[in-house]
Amino acid sequence: MGKVMIKKMARAVHILVFGIIVIALLSFVMVWQEVIDGTPITGYAIQSGDLEGLETSVFVPEKYQRVQAGEMLQFQTSIKNIARSGRHDVQLDYYIKKNEIVITHSRELKAVETQASFLASIKVPEETLPGIYEIEVQINEEESALATFYVTSSDIGQIQTYLIVLIIAIIIVGVMIFWELHRLVGRLKKR
């Protein structure tokens, strides 16, 4: 009976070790995903447009190439009036897009004489998933310029994900240990 008990306890320990390995692997996967999410964008696209003598360009400063969902994205827009003289009002539309799908939009009116360069901002929606997105600046609903940036998940979302995975792993390991102990007690009672 002593050898059987040792075998049963060894089996319970094996299940416990297996559970710890599963939790460690899940934690590793989550940390690795954070490493992948934390990879900086090595470059960002700048694209210029030309509309009736207006040239535009947009870029995201390095400091703002990575923003969390719910934060403001800061970017710089430059407009040059190369064919017209005098002051002209231009309507600027700002779009955050992913795969040509508009995530959010804002609009403002600017006056341009020969050239203008200014910082603008737009809020990245809270529910935006992590990934690479584009900020598109459109002039008078025609020509546009775009740049890319990276949205990271919010800290609260990451903590919630970690807690959910940890709770599920603990429940699975607990059920496995309970089941083995229940079987062990049942067999001991039969003897």
User: How many distinct structural domains can be found in the chain?
Assistant: 2
Helix 2-37 with 155-190: angle, nearest 10 deg: 170
pLDDT class for 43, splitting at 50, 70, 90?
Answer: very low
Q: In this structure, are residues 118 and 137 in contact, taking their beta carbons and an 8 Å threshold?
A: no
Please give the helix or strand (H or E) that residue 19 lies within, else none. helix 2-37
Whether residue 43 is contained in a domain is answered as: no
Same-domain status, 138 and 54: yes
d(CA 128, CA 189): 56
Q: Which of 12-21, 147-156, 180-189 comes out lowest in average pLDDT?
A: 12-21
Handedness of CA 133, 128, 72, 138 (dihedral sign): positive
| pLDDT beyond 50 at 110 | yes
Same-domain status, 164 and 105: no
Same-domain status, 147 and 162: no
Whether residue 42 is contained in a domain is answered as: no
**Residues spanned by the domain of 179:** 2-37+155-190
Whether residue 44 is contained in a domain is answered as: no
Whether residue 144 is contained in a domain is answered as: yes
Same-domain status, 68 and 135: yes
CATH of the domain at 100: 2.60.40.3880
Nearest partner of 48 among 80, 86, 90, judged by Cα: 80
Same-domain status, 54 and 105: yes
Residue 133: partners with Cβ closer than 8 Å, 6 or more residues away: 96, 97, 98, 103, 124, 148, 149, 150, 151
Same-domain status, 74 and 91: yes
Same-domain status, 28 and 60: no
d(CA 35, CA 191): 53
Handedness of CA 135, 138, 139, 143 (dihedral sign): positive
* Alpha helix positions (H), 75-154: none
Model pLDDT for residues 138-173, shown as the tens digit of each residue: 988 877 888 999 998 766 666 777 778 888 888 888
pLDDT for position 124: 93
Same-domain status, 74 and 164: no
Same-domain status, 161 and 90: no
Same-domain status, 17 and 99: no
Same-domain status, 108 and 143: yes
Same-domain status, 131 and 144: yes
**In the β-sheet with 54-59, what is the strand arrangement from edge to edge?**
49-51, 54-59, 72-81, 115-123
pLDDT for position 163: 78
Q: In this structure, are residues 124 and 137 in contact, taking their beta carbons and an 8 Å threshold?
A: no
| pLDDT beyond 90 at 75 | yes
